[in-house]
Structure 1
Amino acid sequence: MAAGLDHIAQLLNATLDPQHHRKAENALKEEAKKPNYSLLLLSIVSTAAQPLKTRLSAALAFKNFIRHNYVDEEGKYKLPEQEVQTIKQELVGLMISSPPSIQTQLGEAISIIADSDFWERWDTLTADLVKRLSNTDYKVTNGVLEVAHSIFVRWRPLFPSNDLNREILHVVDTFGAPFIQLLSIADQQIEANKTNEGPLKGWLDTMSLLVRILYDLCCQDIPPIIESNLQAITVLLHKYVTYTNPIFDGEEDEATQLETLKSDICDVLQLFTNKYDEDFGRYVQEFTNNVWNVLSSVGPEKRYDNLTSKALQFLTAVASSRQHAEIFNKEEILSTIVEKVILPNVALRESDIEMFEDEPIEFIRRDLEGSDTDSRRRASTDFLRKLLDHFEALVSQVVFRYINHYLEAGKSDWKAKDTAVYLFIAIAAKGAVTAAHGVKTVNSYVNVVEFFEHNVAADLLAENSAPISKVDAIKYLYTFRSQLSKEQWVTVMQPLIRNLASPNYVVYTYAAIAVERVLFLTDANGQHLFPRSDIQPFAKDLLEHLFALIEKDTSAAKLQENEFLMRCIMRVLIVMKDGILDCGAESVLNHLISITNVIKENPSNPRFYYYHFEAIGALVRFCSNSPKLDMLARLWTPFAAILNEDVSEFVPFVFQIFSLLLELNPSNQVPGDFKTLIEAVLAPGPWETRGNVPALARFIAAIIPKAADEIRGTKKLEPFLAIFQRLLAGKKTDQSALDVLEAIVGTFSGDVLQEYFGTIVTLLFTKLQQNPTDSFKSRVTRLYHLVSARAGEPGKMGADYFISHAESIQQNVFTPFYLTIILPTTAQFARPVDRKLGVISYTKTLCESKSFAERYQKGWGFTCNNLLDLLKNPPRVAAGFGDEVVNEADVDDIGFGIGFTPLNTCKRGARDDFPEILEVDKWVGQYMKEANARHGGLVAKFVEERLTPEAKAALAPYLA
């Protein structure tokens, strides 16, 4: 045991070393397969003799292990029962006694376990926590409350449900009364220790945790025990939101326990104001005054940042309610708000300027992407905009007085100019600033183009503007990009691009951000505002310059630091399409391959490498068949290295790009090197990582049609079918299962599949009996039509093939399947390719199926009526691949690192299994006439016997 512990501890330490981390991580994966791995990790966490960094690594490894290995998709334990019970017995006590950094990781692990087990499979936990609470030892109590909060905080984002209500009731029954008592005890202890620094801070931490748990308990509804004690609770909240103590006077940098507690109270006040106005409304005025006084008394020091932000968020909640907002509806009050609260909190501070100079990428992310949700600037802006919603004319008038004052001062002071521009953007933009289009609606009392021309444009053009003034000018364009016409954009585009040559990191990055977003803009018809022809003249230089900025520092971490530059490269390639072949495509490919080789050593910025692979995807999509580039061969080497080294972050991207290369390859053979991948994707290993599954399934679907002869010759069809079966069994992988199955059914003849098809139908029917999703029914229906539409081809497929296999499982099972699944689901098909497949399948059923001719005579009529419904609006499938506008999802909607991230440049278009049939209505008429002649007039005879007069009239043109 000790030897095992030491070995794992050594591996954990090695993962912290950039040179050995990949090897150590792979070795830990092997250790994780051995029994009691999770308990060994907990043992390392609990060993005080181990260095803190090793214990922290073990806690992190434990959390990640639990995330992936605790339960399966059905909620069943993947670990032995004994191990599960030991974890639950040990974990709470261990977290309570651990240092704070370890507590955080173990708290997240408890939260993961609670997701599947709390409360019904872990119904002793709440009582166990209550038993451990101490009225005298804040260290123990805070450990217990940390555990409780890590479990209860899960409720905050959830939608209401009966199960959730039962869970909260279970907690409140056991935890409610001790919680109310503990509020009072913590208050007494704070009073008793007001001059005793250590215990005072400890009990203020306790009060903070209690306030967070108050939020947790009330996030869905106010429990009766809180409601009956609301008066007493509000007295405590009043006391501590205004509490002061000279012990905290000397602090400057970090928030103290006091600011943290006040921030937590503001969170609760915001919740109660937004959600429980009936119960809480009578307290709002007094709390507004309290919080206003707090805001007026705090200084610009960093220590107060979070508190200021939370206080402003509470005032924003007050301003959101029309009745409470009236508190602010007076010119002198609004002037005071702007002067005392808004201006001090939107003005640039020393710490902002330091971040601008020393941590530019962090400055950009906070400023631009809303990762500054807790910043003073953001919170002040939100409050101001909320007031603007109610009192647009008055707020505009008041704020403009200050804007004009700061513009005047800004002639000699760039900080004042920055405040003026920031204030203008804050009141000019209405509604959310969207990622796609910037500001969609503007304040009717301002003119954004005029303000730009008079006050901002000069900073964009001047060589000697202060860097922050340049940034403000670019950000102004970025924010109001939808408000400018094409003509106005043409005049600023070149000056904007010139700023990419700035020596200042923030300036050139903002320029790249603005250029990328303008290239993203499309008009009402989906056409780019700046099409390829507009950017062709400078695309080559632009790309070379962007690559030079990225590759300035060639260490893996620095190279991938700035995702905004890579996003701009990706956008230029998407807009240029195959025009890039005339603008140095070879050089672009060389840069992308070289970057791949560097960052695979240590992938550290998911956004950067997402855009990086989107850029490669764009090049493949638009240029893959250019003999000049030979992309299959060029990308094989770096991508094969990624697979050999198992760079797990990149594997799903590699398989998506490989799939696209195969799909676009005109040859019907597997390119040489790709043959080696067939064995690799049939091995179980790659499928064990959930994020790989959609990409691997797509790759298999792409390679099967090209490798058909090889698969038959080497008897590999069964392993492919085994993958289909495995994916079908998973809750979240059944769509991938159907991708694989469609490729198999679309590639091999009925003769080849004869011995397997009964099992395939059994598996599909079994899944259909288990409350299937609509998307699963849709995919099974599409598969049925694929089989049915292949009637008449060599190798005996068609509706009768499907029916014979279904009936061999159970007699008469086809009728309910056809009537309750196939006909209604087909009628709901939205995509033209699916409706086209339905038309072909129904037509061949009417003309070729013996079963429908003889056995299902009513079904023949139903099929014909459904075919006529589809032909009322004959589906037209757009030809071509790669002509559509490629817009990536807004990055903030992408769950990086969680499972699978699709590449939009590699998206597979809807698959048309019969591309040779262009006009389906004409094809139906031709096919029916030929089949009628072939079968001696039988089709016409069935029409006469089996259809209503209306249906006969509708079908007549197709048989005439």
Structure 2
Amino acid sequence: MASALEHLAKLLNDTLDAQQHRKGKLGSSAAHAKQPRHGLNPRTDESVAAAENALKEESKKPNYSLSLLTIVSTAAQPLKTRLAAALAFKNFIRLNYVDEEGNYKLPLEEVQTIKKELVGLMISSPPTIQTQLGEAISIIADSDFWERWDTLTKDLVDRLSNTDYKVTNGVLEVAHSIFVRWRPLFQSNELNREVLHVVGTFGEPFIQMLSIADQQIEANKDNADALKGWLDTMSLLARILYDLSCQDIPPVIETHLQPITVLLHKYMSYTNPIFDGEEDEATPLETLKSDICDALQLFTNKYDDDFGQYVQEFTNNVWNVLSSVGPEKRYDILTCKALQFLTAVASVRRHAEIFNKEQILGTIVEKVILPNVALRESDIEMFEDEPIEFIRRDLEGSDTDSRRRAATDFLRKLLENFEVLVTQVVFGYINHYLAAGKTDWKAKDTAVYLFLAVAAKGAVTAAHGVKTVNSYVNVVDFFEQNIAADLLSENTEPIAKVDAIKYLYTFRSQLNKAQWASAIQPLIQNLASSNYVVYTYAAIAVERVLFLTDEQGQNLYPRSDIQPYAKDLLEHLFALVEKDTSAAKLQENEFLMRCIMRVLIVMKEGVLECGAEGVLNHLINITNVIKENPSNPRFYYYHFEAIGALVRFCSSSPKLDMLPRLWVPFAAILSEDVSEFIPFVFQIFSLLLELNSSSQVPGDFKMLIEVVLAPGPWETRGNVPPLSRFIAAIIPKAAEEIKAEKKLEPFLAIFQRLLAGKKTDQNAFDILEAIIGAFPGDVLDPYFGTILTLIFTKLQTSPTDSYKSRVARLYHFVSARAGEAKMGADYFITHAEAIQQNVFTPFYLTVILPTTGQFARPVDRKLGVISYTKTLCESKQFAERYQKGWGFTCNSLLDLLKNPPRVAAGVGDEIVNEADVDDIGFGVGFTPLNTCKRGARDDFPEIVAVDKWVGQYLKEANQRHGGAVASFVEQRLSPEAKAALAPYLA
């Protein structure tokens, strides 16, 4: 056993190339930078890869997770080895603890041992290891807490210490990591039961711990280490107060609310000379006050009936804090949290009245707003030294808390309540700073920022900027009188230039086409600035202007307007992106790539007239560089959207020779297993195949069949949708090869696997429909009964509406393929009845007929019409065995024909919007490329006017069958149905 552990420890050490901690192996987020896959030392790369492969084999052995925990707990092991074991354990648990259905993938005994040992081990470990094990506990809690781990809360309570803050803080870290999951959730009975379980066990000890921490802080006021430790305890308790109260205020909190508020008030006012230094980072005291402000904000917003009596006191308390903190970075988070609490106070009308006086508002602007919107030296330093970080923090909608953002939100909330008075007060300061700004650009920056804050009303969206403005200001006049000159001048301070660009960016929806006509050219010219922030903000503004649409949904700046300078614009943007050829620097600036993407989307096939070949060369070059070190998910998302746009609109051009050109870099991505890019590659491959008019598989693509049939790629959840789509695209073109090489069964095995999953059954149907569309019925005969058995079995287990919809669509697809494809309704019935006699009748009556009536997409309704029509005309079973069913089918057909489905032909003219990147969980799941989005598939494009086709088909079938169809109409339909069908038979 010892030798096995030593071997495992050695492997962990061998994988510890500091930058080789990749997600799913030893690493953290895929968003973190990686070492290039082909570094300067191939021998090291090979040894690390060998160790990782060996570790992967070790992970398949019994009790692997427990072996890792043993290494973590062994003090004799080097700390880096223990940390590597903790990382490996966390990632192993993430991938191997439960399946999609929540069932354990590990033996129950191993699960129980993990849960028994993990909390104690986490608490006793060094901080770096605590972090990893704490995340592992959260992963386990996501699936098991509380009903499958109902001892956890009591275990945590039992481990709380009244004297050892290290132990107590470890316990509270675990508790908070579990309870914090409740914050974003909607209320449900299941969630309420979980919270009640926790409060019943943890509530009273929590109250007691507040008092103990308070006593310990007092007792250790002169002991720096202990004081910091117990302040950390109080911070964790403040976070847990928020956790426990985020859904509803628990009785134990409600009962003790008064002493809790006394304690919170005490620590909002608490000072200690130990923390009077010049630290750059927040001390435990600022962190505690920030956490208290979070809790105060929650109680003000959510529990005004209980907490309202304390709001005035805490408002004064927080005001004093804001008045006492300086501009130093250590106070940034506290200042933001304090302002967010005041914003919450201003959101409750009866509390907001305390601000409704000109003198008070003037004091707020002077003492709170101005100090927090004015540029600081640290802002200027960031502008110069970390420009990309400056931009990300500065943009509206950024997730990063900033003083400016928090002060602006507070001011806008006051404006919402007291628009006239606030506008009047603030404009006094705006005019003062504009006057000073004639000689001091920093003063003008403050004036512009104040104007931006009071001019905007409501949400400032990433898509459209300010949609509603303060009726007491004129944004166009203010721009022309105070800002336009800065946009045009070549001698403006860079930050002032950025202010001018940001002004246009913010109010882009307020300018009409004529006003933009005079502004767009100066914006584009600023892309030539030598200043990083200026040219980046210019790219941001240009991209958002190109995104704007009019009331009819058409681009405000269509292709014809952008065509004259599109080539130069693209070349300049690519030059900025490729200015630094290192992988990390090249993909640093996602805003430039986003602008490239937008130009390509707006230009569509017009790119062919302005250097499409050069664009493709640039995109391929960038792909080759960034695949060595994918480090910025936003950049490479926009990058692949740009490639998708070029493919979508220009792939038909023989001059570009796009398919073989893209094959080389994409094949390298697959062979080098650049996991971040694989889902994007298969989406673009799928689009290339779908747009390729040939009925044959392009030569290089044939080797991908083996790739997609291998189990490895399917183990990554984000690969499933693009791989499924690729299979659906390649099967129709490779049907002969698949049949000749006997590869149909492996494809059906993939269908079976995907059908079993809750989140992948839609992908399963995509593959199955491709198979049914590519092969005639006689080829599928040996398999179709098994396929139906799988589908029917899942129908018995509370199927979702989307599942029933896909089953109904599948039936109609088979039914509509009567004739040369050797399928049809009778084909389906024969195989269904072979499984179980008389199973088709309830299936048809309870699934097919009602679900078809709910079809919303025109392509599905069209398929239903074709299927029903062919059933009425071609099915022997419906003609003889299911005579009532014939009438039901005809009635359902007539219902669909009341609003004949019209399927739009073609694709490519509609506006393409990229996904909202901030809503995308990079590295977590599948990220769709909207430029590669597949339109709804029309299986019968040759049928255009469906209602006319129905009449023609019915009449031809009636003649072909010697008047049988007309006879059935007379015998099996009601008078109303006969009358409705008569025009089609006339």
Offset at residue 436 of structure 1 (A): 1.5
Q: Is the 8 A contact 1:5 1:40 kept in 2?
A: no
Other-structure match for 1:79 = 106
Offset at residue 124 of structure 1 (A): 1.8
Query: Is there any run of 5+ residues in structure 2 with no aligned partner, and where?
Result: 22-34
Confirm whether residue 906 of structure 1 aligns to residue 932 of structure 2: yes
The 4+ residue runs of structure 1 with deviation greater than 6 A are: none
Deviations 1:718-743 (A, max 9, x none): 11111100000011100000000010
Offset at residue 468 of structure 1 (A): 0.5
Distance 1:105 1:837, change over 3 A: same
Query: After alignment, is 4-13 or 186-195 more displaced?
Result: 4-13
Q: How does 1:934-945 map to 2 (within 5 A)?
A: 934-945=960-971
Q: Is the 8 A contact 1:9 1:44 kept in 2?
A: no
Distance 1:156 1:821, change over 3 A: same
Confirm whether residue 422 of structure 1 aligns to residue 449 of structure 2: yes
Offset at residue 485 of structure 1 (A): 0.5
Alpha-carbon distance in structure 2 between the residues aligned to 1:29 and 1:561? 32
Other-structure match for 1:160 = 187
Other-structure match for 1:678 = 705
Corresponding residue SS for 1:706: helix
Offset at residue 430 of structure 1 (A): 1.0
Other-structure match for 1:360 = 387
Other-structure match for 2:634 = 607
Q: How does 1:539-554 map to 2 (within 5 A)?
A: 539-554=566-581
Alpha-carbon distance in structure 1 between the residues aligned to 2:60 and 2:445? 57
User: Structure 2 residue aligned with 1:3, among 4, 7, 10?
Assistant: 7
Deviations 1:76-121 (A, max 9, x none): 1112333323322332122212333332222221111111111222
User: Structure 1 residue aligned with 2:143, among 84, 103, 116?
Assistant: 116
Offset at residue 57 of structure 1 (A): 4.3
Q: How does 1:786-825 map to 2 (within 5 A)?
A: 786-791=813-818, 793-825=819-851
Confirm whether residue 570 of structure 1 aligns to residue 617 of structure 2: no
Alpha-carbon distance in structure 2 between the residues aligned to 1:827 and 1:478? 47
Deviations 1:315-342 (A, max 9, x none): 1111111111111111111111111101
User: Structure 1 residue aligned with 2:673, among 646, 658, 677?
Assistant: 646
Query: Is there any run of 5+ residues in structure 1 with no aligned partner, and where?
Result: none
Confirm whether residue 844 of structure 1 aligns to residue 848 of structure 2: no
Query: After alignment, is 329-338 or 249-258 more displaced?
Result: 249-258
In the alignment, residue 5 of structure 1 is paired with which amino acid?
A: A
Alpha-carbon distance in structure 1 between the residues aligned to 2:753 and 2:832? 21
In the alignment, residue 970 of structure 2 is paired with which amino acid?
A: E
Alpha-carbon distance in structure 2 between the residues aligned to 1:822 and 1:338? 66
Offset at residue 747 of structure 1 (A): 1.2
In the alignment, residue 753 of structure 1 is paired with which amino acid?
A: L
Q: Is the 8 A contact 2:11 2:52 kept in 1?
A: no
Corresponding residue SS for 1:741: helix
User: Structure 2 residue aligned with 1:506, among 517, 530, 533?
Assistant: 533
Other-structure match for 2:554 = 527
Q: Is the 8 A contact 2:153 2:198 kept in 1?
A: yes
RMSD between superposed Cα atoms in Å: 1.5
Alpha-carbon distance in structure 1 between the residues aligned to 2:643 and 2:80? 38
> Percent identity among equivalent residues?
85
Distance 1:48 1:429, change over 3 A: farther
Q: Is the 8 A contact 2:539 2:595 kept in 1?
A: yes
Q: How does 1:945-956 map to 2 (within 5 A)?
A: 945-956=971-982
Offset at residue 236 of structure 1 (A): 0.4
In the alignment, residue 623 of structure 1 is paired with which amino acid?
A: C
Q: Is the 8 A contact 2:9 2:81 kept in 1?
A: no
Alpha-carbon distance in structure 2 between the residues aligned to 1:800 and 1:911? 24
Offset at residue 59 of structure 1 (A): 3.1
Distance 1:190 1:348, change over 3 A: same
Alpha-carbon distance in structure 1 between the residues aligned to 2:842 and 2:433? 75
Alpha-carbon distance in structure 2 between the residues aligned to 1:571 and 1:174? 55
Corresponding residue SS for 1:700: helix
Q: How does 1:129-278 map to 2 (within 5 A)?
A: 129-278=156-305
Alpha-carbon distance in structure 2 between the residues aligned to 1:49 and 1:358? 43
Query: After alignment, is 384-393 or 245-254 more displaced?
Result: 245-254
Deviations 1:429-478 (A, max 9, x none): 11111122111111111111111111111111000111111111111111
Deviations 1:322-374 (A, max 9, x none): 11111111111111111110110111111111111111111111111533542
Greater relative contact order (CA < 8 Å, ≥ 6 in sequence): 2
Confirm whether residue 870 of structure 1 aligns to residue 915 of structure 2: no
Deviations 1:688-718 (A, max 9, x none): 1111111110000000000011111111111
Corresponding residue SS for 1:444: coil
Query: After alignment, is 665-674 or 849-858 more displaced?
Result: 849-858
Other-structure match for 1:718 = 745
Offset at residue 26 of structure 1 (A): 5.5
Alpha-carbon distance in structure 2 between the residues aligned to 1:173 and 1:54? 40
Distance 1:423 1:29, change over 3 A: farther
TM-score, length-normalised on structure 2? 0.95
In the alignment, residue 297 of structure 1 is paired with which amino acid?
A: S
Offset at residue 141 of structure 1 (A): 1.1
Confirm whether residue 891 of structure 1 aligns to residue 917 of structure 2: yes
TM-score, length-normalised on structure 1? 0.98
Corresponding residue SS for 2:135: helix
Other-structure match for 1:690 = 717
Distance 1:538 1:47, change over 3 A: farther
Alpha-carbon distance in structure 1 between the residues aligned to 2:606 and 2:64? 54
Alpha-carbon distance in structure 1 between the residues aligned to 2:190 and 2:608? 58
Q: How many residues are matched?
A: 959
Other-structure match for 2:32 = none
Alpha-carbon distance in structure 2 between the residues aligned to 1:58 and 1:154? 26
Query: After alignment, is 496-505 or 82-91 more displaced?
Result: 82-91
Other-structure match for 1:292 = 319
Offset at residue 617 of structure 1 (A): 0.7
Alpha-carbon distance in structure 2 between the residues aligned to 1:536 and 1:58? 57
Query: After alignment, is 911-920 or 816-825 more displaced?
Result: 816-825
Distance 1:29 1:515, change over 3 A: farther
Offset at residue 775 of structure 1 (A): 1.0
Query: After alignment, is 655-664 or 104-113 more displaced?
Result: 104-113
In the alignment, residue 652 of structure 2 is paired with which amino acid?
A: N
Other-structure match for 1:957 = 983
Corresponding residue SS for 1:525: coil
Alpha-carbon distance in structure 2 between the residues aligned to 1:269 and 1:444? 33
User: Structure 2 residue aligned with 1:752, among 773, 779, 786?
Assistant: 779
Offset at residue 515 of structure 1 (A): 0.6
Alpha-carbon distance in structure 2 between the residues aligned to 1:84 and 1:720? 34
User: Structure 1 residue aligned with 2:957, among 916, 928, 931?
Assistant: 931
Other-structure match for 2:945 = 919
Corresponding residue SS for 2:458: strand
Distance 1:687 1:369, change over 3 A: farther
Alpha-carbon distance in structure 1 between the residues aligned to 2:62 and 2:715? 18
In the alignment, residue 910 of structure 2 is paired with which amino acid?
A: E
Offset at residue 636 of structure 1 (A): 0.9
Corresponding residue SS for 1:441: strand
Other-structure match for 1:557 = 584
Deviations 1:760-786 (A, max 9, x none): 111111111111111111111111110
Deviations 1:365-399 (A, max 9, x none): 11115335421111111111111111111111111
Q: Is the 8 A contact 1:500 1:507 kept in 2?
A: yes
In the alignment, residue 478 of structure 1 is paired with which amino acid?
A: Y
Corresponding residue SS for 2:799: coil
Alpha-carbon distance in structure 1 between the residues aligned to 2:278 and 2:78? 30
In the alignment, residue 678 of structure 2 is paired with which amino acid?
A: V
Q: Is the 8 A contact 1:13 1:54 kept in 2?
A: no
Query: After alignment, is 41-50 or 257-266 more displaced?
Result: 41-50
Deviations 1:607-664 (A, max 9, x none): 1111111111111111112111111111111111111111111111111111111111
Distance 1:553 1:48, change over 3 A: farther
